[in-house]
Structure formats: C-alpha cells, structure tokens
Amino acid sequence: MTMYDLLTAKGIEVTEEESVALHAQWEGIQALKQDLDDVLQNELDIALCHAPKEGK
C-alpha cells in the first residue's frame, strides 16, 4: 500500500507530487529511527567501573 493509498483511504486529498514528498520524508524519518535504535543497542555494551587510585 502506498502513501497515497493510505491518505486517500482516510479521506485526505493529496496530489501525486505531495504524496512523493511525504513518502520521501517518511523514509528519512524511518532511517533516523533505525540509526537511533542502533545507537541505543550499542550503548548497552558500555559499562563503567569505579576504581579509585590509591594515595589520592
């Protein structure tokens, strides 16, 4: 199902040009979301350990 189909099914009138622009924005948002998910998963591998030095 295309972006155009989804919008028209909800009664929202859009031109083909607007549909293409919305689809491009949606793809960009999904890419950013995937990047964020990847970063959050990578941060799970980070651990901190407090090891004070003697004499300080």
The values of phi and psi at residue 40, to 5°, are -65, -40
| pLDDT at res. 51 | 76
| pLDDT at res. 43 | 62
Confidence of residue 55 (pLDDT cuts 50, 70, 90): low
pLDDT digits (tens, 9 = 90+) for 6-43: 888 999 999 889 988 988 998 998 898 888 877 766 66
Angle at 14 between CA 10 and CA 32, to 5 degrees: 85
CB 23 within 8 A of CB 11: no
pTM of the model: 0.55
Q: Per the structure block, which two tokens stand in for 24?
A: 């491009």
| pLDDT at res. 13 | 92
Sole residue written with tokens 């295309």? 2
User: Measuring CA to CA, which residue among 35, 32, 3, 36 is closest to residue 20?
Assistant: 3
d(CA 48, CA 51): 10
